[in-house]
Amino acid sequence: MPSSLLTSLLFLLSISSSLAQTYNILSYGAKPDGRTDSTKALTAVWAKACASVQPVTILVPKGRFLIGSIVFDGTRCKRKSVTVRIQGTLVAPSDYRVIGKSSHWIFFEHLDRLSIYGGVLDAQGASLWSCKKSGKSCPSGATSIGFQSSTNVLISGLTSLNSQMFHVAINGCNNVKLDGVKVSADGNSPNTDGIHVQSSTTVSILNSKISTGDDCVSIGPGTNGLWIENVACGPGHGISIGSLGKESVEEGVQNVTVKTATFTGTENGVRIKSWARPSNGFAKNIRFQHCVMNNVQNPIIIDQKYCPGNDNCPNQVSGIKISDVMFFDIHGTSATEVGVKFDCSSKKPCTGIRIQDVKLTYRNKPAVADCSHAGGTESGFQRPNNCL
């Protein structure tokens, strides 16, 4: 490249960099005391960022900022790309009723090239959990942070604490990367899925630690191209595909890889579950590999008789077709005698199941396998009974 052209490019880059604007929420009235409502300040900052034609960064500095439910909608933004840098903590109102009837506490939609770096989200959900456990009439609760109808999303180094419902939800998005995410809630907190993905393509969850009261990662209908790697799960209900088949007409789940995951004291390890009722959905091309189980109740499980509360499904059979699922190099300890359980649909049996190098023990002996309506191959599978 001629030196004159290189000089011109560097000059243009320097101009572009100098044109980038940073909006500090302190300048719009936010208070870092954890008591003053800063929702209006964030709303004002978003309006400014949306109106800008230049690259924009929204800065949340150190401190605790109290905010209510807020939506960041990029529909009318001049630029769909925004960077959010959180150095402090966003905290929800202590009264769960303030945001409890909202679907989300913090919600991003209709954006392209959205990046969120760092920060802590503290939803203060414990009081709502207590309400639900008491049997009283309570709101469902808000998902702490959600992303919808967006592309090229990066979430890096974010921590979510004590969500009312789900911690992070990805819905209808394309090309999403979550890296270094931390999720923390009590192991008995209800419906607090760590990261939920549905109706989305090309999503990766990397280098993350999830401790919660429900699924560490839940994978819903319409997920295609999900890569999960180097994730620690526990406490929680494991990494679950499903539940699928709640609707009779439903998108399938395909091309999912879970690699190098560790499960400690969880209810499940790797799981596929579907409602016991008719559906046209499916789950195919699934890979679970290089996973470690530490005292997990159900290390490997396919459950096609899922019917919580016997709601609309007793005496029915799942219509979800499960095929081409591989379990490779999964080892460790089971908290129950059955380490591998395949309870597949009698109407649409599981096919193409592959088990390779699976070694699970229960009380220092090989855990048993319990399989029905499942077909496939196995090798290096240490267990005292036949399965496939």
Question: Residue-wise over 298-336: b if at least 16 C-beta within 10 A, else e?
Answer: bbbbbbbbbbeeeeebeeebbbbbbbbbbbbbbebbbbe
SS3 333: strand
Angle at the Cα of 259 from the Cα atoms of 323 and 158, rounded to 5 degrees: 120
Contact predicate 191/214, CB 8 Å: yes
Q: Tell me the chain's radius of gyration from C-alpha atoms.
A: 23
Express the helix, strand and coil content of the chain in percent, nearest 5 each.
10, 50, 35
Give the DSSP letter string of 249-297.
S---EEEEEEEEEEEES-SEEEEEEEESS----EEEEEEEEEEEEEEES
Calpha distance 314→311 (Å, rounded): 7
Q: What does the longest C-alpha to C-alpha distance in the chain come to? A: 77
Amino acid, single-letter form, for residue 125: G
Side-chain-side CA neighbours of residue 19 (13 Å): 10
By the 10 Å C-beta count (0-12 exposed, 13-18 middle, 19+ buried), 174 is classed as middle
User: Is 237 annotated in the active site?
Assistant: yes
The number of beta carbons lying within 10 Å of the beta carbon of residue 265 is 15
Which residue out of 104, 167, 237, 373 is catalytically annotated?
A: 237
Helices (H), the chain: 3-19, 39-51, 126-134
Q: How many helices and strands, by DSSP H and E, does the chain display?
A: 3, 31
Q: Are 330 and 291 in contact (CB under 8 A)?
A: yes
- For residue 64, the SS3 value is strand
Q: How many whole angstroms separate alpha carbon 79 and alpha carbon 94? A: 35
Residue 48's Cα: distance from chain center in Å? Answer: 30
Question: So which residues are the catalytic ones?
Answer: 237
